[in-house]
């Protein structure tokens, strides 16, 4: 008989994003941090460790916007993201996330990080501290010492509290799926706990703490976004990439620019579909990421590239490990062509490029100009494209 291999515990995550953001005044998860919704930054930060399955728990009315955010987030290819409907309490939301994990192949032996969607600054070092300590407690939680004096207020009266030994609890909190499920089945119906540690402790489980991170704040009021933006900007550096591509016209070929087919009697000569715009974009993205150029990644000697759709090549570029560490914030393209007339294609190109790059259409700008009848482009013998990509790269 063939031996059955034991399941190897994997790392999964449940991100709770089903709150009403009452104190914030609007939905904080969609507030902009360095050009992307805050929830994108949270997901990207959490996936700095090898998470395989991730469930994002959200309100039903937010599902469409959340799906757009997931598409915009720069996540490793190994991460499979699922959505779950939130409940009226945190406990209900987390349990909903656990059920979706189980429905999508997660095992009770897997480990799960439960994280607040409004904590976008979780660091890799904090995540590693949690993972290192996971075998020594039923649940591992990050904590930070309370620095301020404490007072309890009630009915107009206040009293001082001793802060010695008091800590503030953060997320993510890490435990095995089986441990969390068992705690939910053991607690009374309708019981609601502030966090997973409180739930597991109520059933006799052992809570282990590790050093948290003061930068790992939970966004609660609008001013917190300014703090997050400043901290995020301090952790990255702005980089710029430039791309240039040019092709002569050739008969018997379709004309593609920016992933859009252009009505023309002539196409462009090249190994692939010769989309000069996408080629310039790819070179600019690779330059921004410090990852070389398309000549090195896709040599013309490779016969598999003959006639290939350049959008396919761009997807391969965007999947490169070095590029995935990059957060693109703007793409600026100039097409130099005397013919055909391209003005009516600018908006469709911007929409197509925004989808390929995971950006908003407002973050992609396509301009068209002629060459004032100068040179071979001015004589209408071909088309050139120039592209500048601005991005953010971890320091």
State phi, psi for 342 to the nearest 5 degrees: -115, 0
pLDDT at 360: 87
| Domain span holding position 269 | 236-394
Residue 113: C-alpha distances to residues 98, 270, 306 (Å): 11, 48, 45
Distance CA 170, CA 192 (A): 18
- 228 and 373, same domain (yes or no): no
pLDDT at 46: 96
Q: Has residue 242 been placed in a domain? A: yes
Closest CA to 262 of 200, 144, 348, 186: 348
Cβ neighbours of residue 330 closer than 8 Å, sequence gap 6 or more: 35, 363, 364, 365, 389, 390
Structural domain count, the chain: 2
Q: Has residue 327 been placed in a domain? A: yes
- 258 and 202, same domain (yes or no): no
The tens digit of pLDDT for each residue in 41-51 reads 999 999 999 99
- 30 and 74, same domain (yes or no): yes
Domain final residue pick, 214, 234, 254: 234
CA trace torsion 337, 361, 224, 76 (10° rounding): -90
pLDDT at 185: 87
Strand, coil or helix: 395: coil
Closest CA to 206 of 187, 183, 186: 183
CA trace torsion 152, 158, 164, 168 (10° rounding): 30
Kindly state the DSSP code that residue 132 receives in the 8-state scheme: H
The kind and range of the H/E element at 256 are: strand 255-257
Whether pTM > 0.75 for this model: the answer is: yes
Tokens coding 194:
């502030």
The tens digit of pLDDT for each residue in 54-72 reads 999 999 999 999 999 999 8
Whether the per-residue pLDDT at 20 is higher than 80: the answer is: no
- 374 and 284, same domain (yes or no): yes
- 230 and 312, same domain (yes or no): no
Strand, coil or helix: 383: strand
Cβ neighbours of residue 229 closer than 8 Å, sequence gap 6 or more: 33, 34
Distance CA 73, CA 282 (A): 19
- CATH number assigned to the domain comprising residue 290: 3.30.1330.50
pLDDT at 186: 85
- 311 and 361, same domain (yes or no): yes
- CATH number assigned to the domain comprising residue 59: 3.90.550.10
Token match 């409004």: residue?
Answer: 118
Domain final residue pick, 208, 234, 260: 234
- 204 and 321, same domain (yes or no): no
Mean pLDDT, the chain, rounded, equals 92
Q: Has residue 308 been placed in a domain? A: yes
């Amino acid at each position: 008989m063939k031996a059955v291999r034991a399941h190897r515990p994997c790392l999964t995550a449940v991100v709770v994003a089903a709150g009403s953001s009452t104190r914030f005044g609007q939905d904080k998860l969609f507030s902009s941090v360095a050009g992307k919704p805050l929830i994108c930054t949270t997901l990207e930060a959490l996936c700095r460790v090898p998470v395989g399955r991730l469930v994002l728990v959200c309100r039903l009315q937010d599902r469409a916007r959340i799906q757009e955010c997931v598409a915009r987030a720069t996540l490793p290819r190994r991460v499979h993201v699922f959505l779950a409907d939130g409940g009226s309490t945190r406990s209900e939301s987390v349990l909903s996330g656990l059920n979706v994990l189980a429905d999508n192949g997660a095992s009770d032996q897997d480990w799960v990080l439960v994280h607040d969607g409004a904590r976008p600054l979780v660091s890799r070092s904090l995540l590693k501290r949690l993972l290192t300590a996971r075998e020594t407690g039923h649940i591992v939680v990050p904590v930070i010492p309370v620095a301020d004096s404490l007072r309890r207020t009630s009915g107009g009266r206040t009293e001082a509290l001793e802060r010695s030994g008091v800590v503030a609890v953060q997320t993510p909190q890490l435990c095995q799926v089986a441990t969390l499920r068992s705690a939910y089945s053991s607690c009374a119906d309708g019981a609601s706990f502030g966090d997973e540690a409180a739930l597991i402790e109520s059933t006799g489980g052992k809570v282990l703490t590790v050093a948290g991170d003061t930068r790992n704040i939970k966004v609660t009021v609008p001013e917190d976004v300014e703090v997050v933006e400043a901290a995020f900007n301090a952790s990255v550096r702005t980089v710029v990439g430039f791309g240039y591509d040019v092709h002569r016209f050739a008969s018997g070929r379709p004309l593609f620019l920016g992933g859009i087919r252009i009505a023309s009697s002539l196409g462009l000569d090249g190994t692939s579909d010769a989309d000069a715009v996408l080629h310039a974009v790819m070179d600019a993205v690779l330059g921004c990421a410090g990852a070389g150029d398309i000549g090195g990644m896709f040599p013309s000697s490779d016969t598999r590239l003959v006639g290939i759709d350049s959008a396919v090549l761009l997807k391969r570029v965007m999947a490169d490990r070095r590029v995935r560490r990059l957060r693109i914030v703007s793409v600026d393209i100039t097409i130099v062509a005397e013919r055909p007339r391209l003005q009516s294609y600018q908006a469709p190109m911007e929409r197509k490029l925004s989808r390929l790059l995971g950006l908003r259409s407002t973050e992609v700008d396509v301009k068209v100009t002629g060459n004032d009848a100068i040179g071979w482009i001015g004589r209408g013998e071909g088309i050139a494209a120039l592209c500048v990509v601005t991005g953010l790269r971890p320091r």
